[in-house]
Structure 1
Amino acid sequence: MSQRDIKNRISSVQNIRKITRAMEMVAAARLRRAEQRIEALRPYAGAIRRMTRQAAEAAGSGELSKLPILASRDSESTVAILMVTADRGLAGAFNSQIIRAGIRAADEFVGEGKQVEYFATGRRGVSSLTFRGREPKGSYVGFTDRPSYANAREVAEALMAAYVDGEVDRVEILYNGYVSPLVQEVRRETLLPLQQATILEGNERDREGSEGDSGHHALVEYEPDPVDILQRLVPDYVEISIFRAMLESTASEHGARMTAMRSASENAGDVISDLTLEMNRARQAEITQEIMEVVGGAEALS
């Protein structure tokens, strides 16, 4: 490879590094905003999920079956899986790990003799499912960079309608939970039926925003009764759970992209160093060759 070819390659890699650095800074700025949105939502989301859990415990499993949205099926034949992905790529394994986890969960249900209905947010998830011949029943795209509550409500209404109409007997959601800019973990939660929902497990994430929650609750008298309260709370619980998952996914996406672009910039720097060293060696070889030619010419003249 000539010096000119190496110089052209160095110039190309330098241009790529400028782009990846710019994308890293943009992702970092968007990540800070996404973190702020998560922090603002957590107290409200934690309160809704905690109230829903407490009302469900007060109502009892027998009372929950009186309402269609709260009814638990005797047998589950169809499961809805919502995969929360992004509209864009260049974020490492962010999208692929959700798709793999969703397909793995679907295969488990199919192995149990159940049917699976796919729902997906983000163009990456929709296109991947379509490519694999698993056409999603619900596709929601164009908002993953900055999801709004209206987007979550649209998805929630479709899932709740499918559950109430008996089209699905269970609703699960998979998304990337935000831990830190460097760490995103795949989370799988059950939204419906309420009797099997993740909120009834009382895990620590469901207590976000609560202070001094020791696990013991005072006796509460509900007016109206807990079932009526749950009829109003459950739609809010489903919507807020999906919205929280969207915000967590957005922050995870920006964190993953920032990390991926930083790694790409560092790799570009390594490539530039290797190419520069190769160019210096080529230049040195050319200089050595020219000196040998001069020496050879001088010897010939003498």
Structure 2
Amino acid sequence: MASVQDYKRRIRSVRNTRKITRAMELVAAAKLRRAQTRIEAMRPYADTMRELIAGVGRAAGSVRGLPLLEQRETTATTLIVPLSGDRGLAGAFNAQVMRRAFALDRRLADEGQNVRWLAVGKKGRSTLTFRRRTLDGTFVGFTDAPAYSNAQAIAHRAAELFVEGEVDRVVLVYNTFVSALTQTVTEQEILPISADILETDEEERRDDALRGDFIFEPEPEEILERLLPVYVETQIYRALLESSASEQGARMTAMRNASKNAGELIDGLTLEMNRARQAEITQEILEVVAGADALA
């Protein structure tokens, strides 16, 4: 049985750990609030970008020849882009992204497709390197607070591989933020850009007729060609913000659970320490009584 001093050392160690987990929980909560604010500001921009592309697409006579809209007859190679974090201590945040990415890898392999990888986040890069996957690019060091320039770099590399014909499809795998307790793993195909964003319904065509004709300078096809890369960057930036908020929410929840578990462990160790102290006192009393009996 451990001594009272051993229990005291363990309790002191657990208390110090609980201080760290509480501090990390507060930091994650502050970062989560900022990430939520950025997502709320981003969503109207993304929706407006989609409407703008749809409007220009309606005015364009033809969208053929735009490389980012090219639908390949056969999909031989898929580029998977898992969005992970740069740090751990976030519960299952990184594990569930990589688990879904490898499940997609196996599914595509069963279909006879080749898979290539683009790593975002140090945890994802480490996992892919450990599993001996060849990487076509690595982007790390910004997952806590991603900037639009980070999304531009990722989009540029993915678009480069797609336009050059090295890959036929690009899929993002990331955590969508629902709440601090819930993050949903999402697979999103960003290339080729779906032609659905250019489709219009009867109401939109009627509104265009009421507004009349617009004169575009330069031509709508050229404007659309410039807008499509920005649309890809916007989608990736939105995914980065969703992933960042999910990471902070997962870390806050994990640290809160860790602090709670530390408190329960301290209570259990305190009870064991009191039992050990009582056992020592009882032993000392028995020794005193035994000594008195021996003298008598």
TM-score (norm 2): 0.90
Tell me if 1:194 matches 2:188. Answer: no
C-alpha RMSD of matched pairs (Å) = 2.2
Tell me if 1:251 matches 2:245. Answer: yes
Change (3 A) 1:111 1:54: farther
1:17-60 deviations in Å (ceiling 9; x for gaps): 11111111111111111111111111101211343356557769
Are the equivalent residues in 2 in contact too, given 1:81–1:116 (CA < 8 A)? yes
CA distance in 1 between counterparts of 2:294 and 2:105 reads: 81
Change (3 A) 1:186 1:53: farther
| Paired residue secondary structure (1:137) | strand
1:147-177 deviations in Å (ceiling 9; x for gaps): 1000100000111111111111111111111
Aligned residue for 2:9?
A: 8
Aligned residue for 2:285?
A: 291
Are the equivalent residues in 1 in contact too, given 2:93–2:250 (CA < 8 A)? yes
Alpha-carbon deviation of 1:301?
A: 2.5
Q: After superposing the two structures, state which structure 1 stretch, 18-27 or 45-54, moved more.
A: 45-54
Alpha-carbon deviation of 1:65?
A: 3.3
Tell me if 1:300 matches 2:294. Answer: yes
The count of aligned residue pairs is: 288
The one-letter code matched in structure 1 to 2:245 is A
Q: After superposing the two structures, state which structure 1 stretch, 96-105 or 64-73, moved more.
A: 64-73
CA distance in 2 between counterparts of 1:156 and 1:69 reads: 11
1:26-41 superposed matches below 5 A: 26-41=27-42
| Paired residue secondary structure (2:165) | coil
Alpha-carbon deviation of 1:279?
A: 0.4
The one-letter code matched in structure 1 to 2:259 is S
The one-letter code matched in structure 1 to 2:151 is A
TM-score (norm 1): 0.89
Tell me if 1:107 matches 2:101. Answer: no
| Paired residue secondary structure (1:182) | coil
CA distance in 1 between counterparts of 2:251 and 2:3 reads: 35
1:1-302 superposed matches below 5 A: 1-53=2-54, 55=56, 63-195=62-194, 216-217=203-204, 218-220=206-208, 223-224=215-216, 227-302=221-296
Are the equivalent residues in 2 in contact too, given 1:78–1:168 (CA < 8 A)? yes
Q: After superposing the two structures, state which structure 1 stretch, 229-238 or 116-125, moved more.
A: 229-238
Are the equivalent residues in 2 in contact too, given 1:83–1:175 (CA < 8 A)? yes
CA distance in 1 between counterparts of 2:202 and 2:37 reads: 28
Are the equivalent residues in 1 in contact too, given 2:69–2:195 (CA < 8 A)? no
Alpha-carbon deviation of 1:215?
A: 9.5
| Paired residue secondary structure (2:100) | helix
Change (3 A) 1:65 1:86: same
Are the equivalent residues in 1 in contact too, given 2:53–2:224 (CA < 8 A)? yes
Q: Structure 1 segments of 4 or more deviating over 4 A? A: 53-60, 199-202, 221-226
| Paired residue secondary structure (1:144) | coil
Change (3 A) 1:57 1:178: farther
1:124-161 deviations in Å (ceiling 9; x for gaps): 00110110111221110011111100010000011111
Identity %: 52
CA distance in 2 between counterparts of 1:239 and 1:19 reads: 37
CA distance in 2 between counterparts of 1:200 and 1:138 reads: 31
